[in-house]
Amino acid sequence: MQAIFRNAMSRLGSPVTLVTTDGPAGRYGLTVSAITSVTDTPPTILVCFNRANASHEAFLTNKKLGINILGKGHDDLACAFANNQLTATERFTCGQWHPGPLGSPLLDGALATLDCTIENTHTIGTHDVLICRVHAITIDDGTRHGLTWFDRAFHHLPTRA
């Protein structure tokens, strides 16, 4: 059942984001595609984290995160932040970063960034579902294509004509 479930989910296009944090537990980031909006009143987003990930506890301790929505040209950056062979410090040598209002690293040139606090955590199987309140948003008004993950590969989505 696990293998067929994973194959079925590979047919579901997902956004490609870098989720980052900085605070008492340190600076960490990883590539996340299990993310979605919950409501706009108040602005809230859902992020799923594997509890086995080395950075998992740091996100819970820091209680805040930055969501960086990636676009065309960010494929290598997404791969770097998904690479378990790189340290947290090495990952942040890729791309240009600045601290958001809450202190989480935000990517210069991301299609959009969201600076959030973790409001609730729910454990389901191997993952934690984080419910995050959005406190600040930036949007890049450029015309770059979006980046999505579908059928175990990156794809570029055109902007609206």
Closest by CA to 45, choosing from 118, 98, 148, 112, is: 118
Q: Whole domain around residue 95: which residue ranges?
A: 2-34+55-113+139-153
User: Residue 27 falls within a domain, yes or no?
Assistant: yes
User: Residue 47 falls within a domain, yes or no?
Assistant: no
- Residue pair 23/64 in contact by the 8 Å Cβ criterion: yes
What tokens appear for 93 in the block? Answer: 């040598």
What mean pLDDT, rounded, does the chain reach?
95
How crowded is residue 151: how many other Cβ atoms within 10 Å of its Cβ? Answer: 10
What tokens appear for 138 in the block? Answer: 């930036």
Q: In this predicted structure, what is the pLDDT of residue 143?
A: 66
Q: In this predicted structure, what is the pLDDT of residue 142?
A: 78
3-state secondary structure of 11: coil
Position 15 confidence tier, pLDDT thresholds 50, 70, 90: very high
The whole-number average pLDDT for the span 43-60 is: 96
3-state secondary structure of 89: helix
The whole-number average pLDDT for the span 5-30 is: 95
User: Residue 85 falls within a domain, yes or no?
Assistant: yes
- Residue pair 121/130 in contact by the 8 Å Cβ criterion: yes
User: Residue 147 falls within a domain, yes or no?
Assistant: yes
User: Residue 130 falls within a domain, yes or no?
Assistant: no
68 vs 6: which has the higher pLDDT: 68
Position 146 confidence tier, pLDDT thresholds 50, 70, 90: very high
User: Residue 71 falls within a domain, yes or no?
Assistant: yes
The whole-number average pLDDT for the span 107-131 is: 97
Q: How many domains does the chain have?
A: 1
Q: Which of 76-85, 102-111, 116-125, 151-160 is least confident?
A: 151-160
Q: The CATH number of the domain where 102 resides is what?
A: 2.30.110.10
Q: In this predicted structure, what is the pLDDT of residue 141?
A: 80
User: Residue 44 falls within a domain, yes or no?
Assistant: no
Cis before 42 (ω within 30): yes
Closest by CA to 30, choosing from 73, 82, 66, 77, is: 82
User: Residue 14 falls within a domain, yes or no?
Assistant: yes
